């Protein structure tokens, strides 16, 4: 089921209305007023991180593209491509995050021998492809529901016999068969991830989250990553 759209999307029409309303009184073109207004409104409505940069660039990019006088089919194609890549950001407040090489190194050294490892929200395969290549003892499953990253992930892992790339909703998967669940999502779904892991993962199963923790559930172990974002991996065991 697709969850409701994030409320900070309302920043775009609100900023447009305010920018046109203010431009007449301050004698400044709306394009100069709309970007800062959009960022401020989005921030007030709960947007954080890279999403704010997208809001800041939205109006300048829109005006720039409009000046190119592109045909209608080009706009439709661009909208389709945007949805194909960023579906989660628009519907579930989960942007496309790509795990770093440091995260893969840490996972390759931490995951037990011979288990079934699932990356739920595998994106373009930044974890599942190198991990399956480095750890042939593992059965690696990547699940992705945005079809363009899914296609790229499948293509990148086409020669790996121990990698399975599935197109689908992570919430509709059978988590009982995953010994280790890895996620790199956002703060928004982490409580739901934790509840589902506790309910369906096998006894002594392991949940690993890149960057985002679970409120009220201290991790059993934290591994700092030497990457550009100074990320951390959080580890939890399913003790039932």
Distance of CA 188 to the CA centre of its chain: 11
Q: Which of 19, 197, 224, 9 is nearest to 102 (CA)?
A: 224
Q: Are residues 117 and 193 in the same domain?
A: yes
> What tokens does 15 get?
């900023």
Decide if 84 is inside a domain.
Answer: no
Our count of domains for the chain comes to: 2
Q: For 224, phi and psi rounded to 5 degrees?
A: -70, 145
In this structure, are 120 and 160 located in the same domain? yes
- Residue 13's contacts (CB-CB under 8 Å, 6 or more residues apart) are none
Q: Give CA–CA dist 41/176, Å, rounded.
A: 42
Can you list the residues of the chain whose pLDDT is less than 50? Answer: 1-5, 89-90
47, 118: one domain: no
- Both 223 and 157 in one domain: the answer is yes
In a domain, 89, yes or no: no
pLDDT attached to residue 1: 33
Find where tokens 């509840």 sit.
Answer: 195
- pTM beyond 0.85: the answer is no
Pairing of strands 221-224, 163-167: unpaired
Contact status, residue 18 vs residue 44, Cβ threshold 8 Å: no
Q: What's the rounded Cα separation, in Å, for the pair 206 and 159?
A: 27
Does residue 83 belong to any structural domain of this protein? Answer: no
Is residue 178 within 8 Å of residue 155, measured between CB atoms?
no
User: Domain boundary at 21, 49, 68, which?
Assistant: 68
Same structural domain, 129 and 227: yes
Is the same domain home to 217 and 107? yes
Task: Report the relative pairing of strands 232-237 and 221-224 from DSSP bridges.
Answer: antiparallel
What distances in angstroms separate CA 238 from CA 88, 91, 104, 148, one per listed residue? Answer: 27, 29, 22, 33
**Amino acid 222: pLDDT:** 96
Q: What is the pLDDT of residue 56?
A: 79
Q: Is 80 exposed, middle or buried (0-12, 13-18, 19+ CB in 10 A)?
A: exposed
212-218: long-range contacts at Cβ-Cβ below 8 A with a sequence spacing of 24 or more?
212/183, 212/184, 212/185, 212/186, 212/187, 214/190, 215/190, 215/191
C-alpha Rg value of the chain to the nearest Å: 21
Segments forming the whole domain that contains residue 48: 5-68
């Amino acid at each position: 089921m697709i969850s409701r759209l994030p409320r900070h999307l309302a920043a775009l029409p609100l900023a447009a209305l305010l920018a046109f309303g203010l431009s007449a009184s301050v004698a400044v073109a709306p394009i100069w007023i709309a970007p800062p207004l959009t960022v401020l409104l989005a921030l007030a409505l709960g947007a954080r991180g890279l999403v704010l940069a997208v809001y800041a660039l939205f109006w300048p990019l829109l005006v720039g593209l409009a000046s190119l006088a592109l045909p209608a089919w080009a706009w439709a194609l661009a909208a389709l491509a945007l949805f194909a890549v960023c579906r989660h950001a628009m519907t579930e407040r989960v942007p496309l995050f790509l795990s770093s090489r440091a995260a893969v190194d840490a996972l390759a050294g931490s995951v037990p021998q011979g288990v079934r490892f699932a990356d739920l929200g595998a994106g373009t395969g930044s974890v599942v492809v190198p991990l399956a290549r480095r750890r042939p003892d593992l059965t690696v499953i990547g699940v992705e529901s945005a079809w363009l990253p899914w296609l790229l992930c499948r293509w990148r892992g086409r020669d790996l016999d121990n990698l399975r790339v599935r197109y689908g909703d992570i919430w509709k998967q059978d988590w009982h068969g995953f010994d280790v669940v890895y996620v790199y999502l956002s703060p928004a779904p982490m409580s739901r991830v934790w509840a589902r892991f506790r309910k369906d993962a096998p006894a002594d199963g392991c949940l690993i989250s890149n960057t985002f923790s679970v409120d009220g559930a201290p991790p059993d172990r934290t591994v700092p990553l030497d990457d550009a974002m100074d990320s951390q991996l959080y580890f939890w065991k399913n003790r039932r």
